[in-house]
Amino acid sequence: MTDIVVLVSGGGTNLQAIIDAIESGTITNARVKAVISNKEDAYALERAKKHGIKGKVAKKAELLSAIKEEGPDLLVLAGFLVVLPEEIIREYENRIINIHPSLIPSFCGQGFYGLRVHEGVLSRGCKVTGATVHFVDEGTDTGPIIIQKAVEVLPGDTPEVLQKRVMEEAEWKILPKAIDLFSNGKLVVKEGKVEVLS
C-alpha cells in the first residue's frame, strides 16, 4: 500500500481527482494519508475533511517535519505554490510528483504558474497545449517527465476557459494515472528519463 501525502495551496480540484480515483478503483494500492497546505483557508483542506482525510497547515519552515510525521512513500504536489526545501527533494528523490498545466518544456519554470501559463499559451497563439506530470528535482518544473496529455486551444479561448479545459481533459486524468503507475511499481527513472513498465 502506497501512503501518499498531497501538498496543496488552493482549490484542490486535482486533490479531488486523486480522492475520486482511489474511491473508484482507478488508482489501486494507494491511500491519501494526509493533505498539507501552506494556506489555512485552502478549499483543498475542506475537500480532504469531507473524505475523512487528515488535513494540516504547515509553513515552509515546518514542512519537512510535517511531512515526515506521516511517513509517506510518495509526495504529490497538487497546485502547491511553495518551493520545496532542498532537503525534502533529496530525502524524497524520485518520490515527489508534480502536475504542471502545460506541455513542459513550454511555458514552465519561474513565474509560470496558474493562469499565467494559459495567458502565455494564448499570447503566443499556440494551437495545442496540455499538462505534464513529472518527478520533482532541484529545478522548477525540470524533473523527469512521467506523462503528458495534449489539449486543443480553441478560437476565443480566455485563460480561464483554457485552464478549465486543461484541468478537465488532462490534469484530472494524468495525475491519477501517474499515481497508479507509481503505486504499482511501474515507473523507473533511468538517466533522467522515465520508463513505464508494462
The binding site for ligand GRF (CB under 6 A) comprises 8, 10-14, 44, 78-79, 99-101, 114, 167, 171
CB atoms within 10 A of CB 137: 17
Q: Measured from the CB of residue 42, what is the shortest distance to ligand GRF in angstroms? A: 8
Burial state string for 51-75 with b = 16 or more CB within 10 A and e = fewer than 16 = eebebbebeeeebbebbeebebebb
* 7/194 with CB nearer ligand GRF: 7
Quick one: 11 or 144, whose CB is closer to ligand GRF? 11
CA distance 39 to 55: 11
Our separate counts of H helices and E strands in the chain read 7, 9
118 in catalytic set: no
In this structure, what C-alpha cell is assigned to residue 3?
Answer: 501512503
Which secondary-structure segment (H or E) carries 81?
Answer: none
Closest approach of Cβ 43 to ligand GRF, in Å? Answer: 8
> What is the four-CA torsion angle of 183, 79, 136, 64, rounded to 10 degrees?
-90
Closest contact distance (angstroms) between CB of 198 and ligand GRF is 28
Smallest distance, Å, CB 171 to ligand GRF? Answer: 5
| Grid cell for residue 189 | 527513472
Q: d(Cα 13, Cα 35) in Å, to the nearest integer?
A: 13
Q: Which residues are catalytic?
A: 100
